[in-house]
Amino acid sequence: MKKYIIYTGILIVGLLLGWLLFGGSPKYDKVHNHDAISETNQLWTCSMHPQIMQPEPGDCPICGMNLIPVDGGSEGLLADQFKLTENAMALANIQTSIVGNSIADGNRIKLSGRIVENEEANTVQVSYFSGRIERLNVSFTGEKIRKGQMLATIYSPELYAAQQELITAASLKESQPELFNAVRNKLKLWKLSENQINQIESSGKVKENFPVYATVSGTVTEKLVEQGDYIKQGQPLLKIANLNTVWGNFDVYENQIDRFKKGQEVVVTTNAYPNKEFKGKVDFIDPVLNTKTRTVTLRVVLNNKDDVFKPGMFITAKIEDIKNEHQEVLAIPISAVLWTGERSVVYLKTNPDQPVFEMQEVVLGNRIGNEYEVLEGLFVGNEIVTNGTFTVDAAAQLQGKKSMMNKVGGKVTTGHEGHLGMEDITSEPQENHSNMNERLNVSKDFQNQLKTVFYDYVKLKDALVKDDVNSVIQEAKKQIENLSKVDMKLLTDKEAHNHWMALEKEIKASANSISNVTDIKVQRNHFKHLSSHLIKVMQLFGINEKVYVEFCPMADNNNGAYWLSKEEKVINPYFGEAMLTCGEVKQIIE
């Protein structure tokens, strides 16, 4: 009995000590109570990849860095607002600036256009009689000719017979003057000169081959016949352009038409002569609107006696803004604007003390230097993202907020693989056959280099369709290699250069992530991000080929995901053979 009494006493003392030490401790309850943990809603993210969200600490599945706790200061954010970490802001070099009134570039409107031939000075040299071209004296297109220069010699049976008639009529001109005059007039209609007719009459000899002389001076823009061809009366031989004056044709958007009038002075510049300015005046404003581009053509006549301008050359015009002259303009940098179909969007920094952002649609006016006039959507004092806009947009998409490709926004959820997903995404391109982004003007050489990157992407997509992990890794490495070969020096436009630098960085990061993992599910997750950035590249720059943007609503845990394809037929890279044809074409990039 003593033994049992001792054991019981020890047990009571142990329980009493346990209650005294741990019973009233809230910390102990929180450590051991799973429900209490869930109430804190603490998430962990990666400073390099803020899209990663996990409910517990660990390593980033993309780069292997230690996860850090998500700042809990996001409480009280509105539905469309989202927050980035300070580390993410610094690493992505996201910069903001305050919107204010400005008079940029002397309050001039900047237009882009190209040089074309002056149609009023164009001439078609024709043959005034039928025959065979025995000799063509014009060797090549672009050759300069002068009025009265011999262009060709032609053998004409009709002209041969008419010369014989003239010689016969000349012997009868005293008795039959009407016949004589009629034969002479017939030759004049065939553009023979008085001297030529008199020479035939006085010599009494018939010429077999007759010369054709230029009726104007200019530059041959097209040869329509070759030596030895048979031609008919009135058939065109050459197209001749007088390039002493040329036209500069500029596109004016619908909302800019009221800013221009005939006689306005224009200052024209070109990349060929960056330090020179050429003056001209508005000569014509097309009364018909181009329904495809929603622009009208504004024409400027330019003096070209020094042969400075070449037809086809790109030019830029600066025109004083009549409507807004001496008025302040609310302007934002070009780098701040993203285009999606008919919408233009920027990202507001809504909290001056924290990196909290929200997408804002704006209505733009004229381009003024390197800025856009803002007609609606912003006010003086707003803080907007001016560098790293694509990165902020990607974060908005990943967090299910309103973004370029998501007009509505959605509920933010934590995906099974630790990334933020999007639900109820209903955004679609405005039209299936129109570009979602305003196409930037780049060279064909640059587009051809992008085409190689796109073809690598297609091969990578096909490898995902086949569930071939090793091929996916190899194709991702090829894409990184060819991406480094894209020559940014081909981008002469600063706006295009900035867009490409931002997108190239994102594409390279996604392709690197794909090449460094062997899990097909993780590869497909990175492929989703790769696709979103490459879609923007296709929309902004183009590759002179038709590209299809396709969408599967069941991909990414039913959040939906996009991809690019060379063909209209849907072959889904997110499920492979399991759901090969799931999806539809959402947009065609011409």
The model's pTM is 0.42
pLDDT in tens, 26-66: 433 433 343 433 445 677 777 666 557 777 888 887 767 78
pLDDT value of residue 70: 63
At residue 248 the predicted structure's pLDDT band, cuts being 50, 70 and 90, is very high
Ordered by start, the domain boundaries in the chain are 2-84, 108-118+243-320, 120-241, 444-589
Give the CB-side neighbour count of residue 128, counting CA atoms within 13 A.
15
CA neighbor of 252 nearest in space, from 307, 202, 317: 317
**Proportion of the chain above pLDDT 90, given as a percent:** 8
Thinking of the domain 108-118+243-320, which architecture would CATH place it in?
Answer: Beta Barrel (2.40)
Q: What pLDDT is stored for residue 384 in this prediction?
A: 92
- Between 509 and 437, whose confidence is greater? 509
| pLDDT tens readout for residues 106-146 | 566 778 889 999 888 888 888 888 889 989 988 888 888 88
Lowest mean pLDDT segment, chosen from 69-83, 84-98, 176-190: 69-83
What pLDDT sits at residue 493? 74
pLDDT tens, residue by residue, 180-223: 888 888 887 777 778 888 888 888 888 888 888 888 888 898 89
Residue type, 159: L
Task: Please report, for residues 60, 289, 491, 573, the alpha-carbon distance to residue 477 in angstroms, rounded to integers and kept in the order given.
Answer: 21, 47, 25, 18
Asked if residue 405 has pLDDT above 80, the reply is no
Range of weakest confidence among 57-66, 278-287, 498-507: 57-66
- Mean residue pLDDT across the chain: 78
Q: Report, as an integer, the average pLDDT of 578-587.
A: 81
User: Does position 411 have pLDDT exceeding 80, yes or no?
Assistant: no
Question: Does the pLDDT of residue 561 top 90, yes or no?
Answer: no
Q: What are phi and psi of 560, to 5 degrees?
A: 90, 145
What is the pLDDT, as a whole number, of residue 159? 82
Mind giving me the DSSP string for 511-568? HHHHHT---HHHHHHHHHHHHHHHHHHHHHH--SS-EEEEEETTHHHHT-EEEEESSS
**What is the second-level CATH architecture of the domain 120-241?**
Beta Barrel (2.40)
Structure confidence at residue 286 (pLDDT): 92
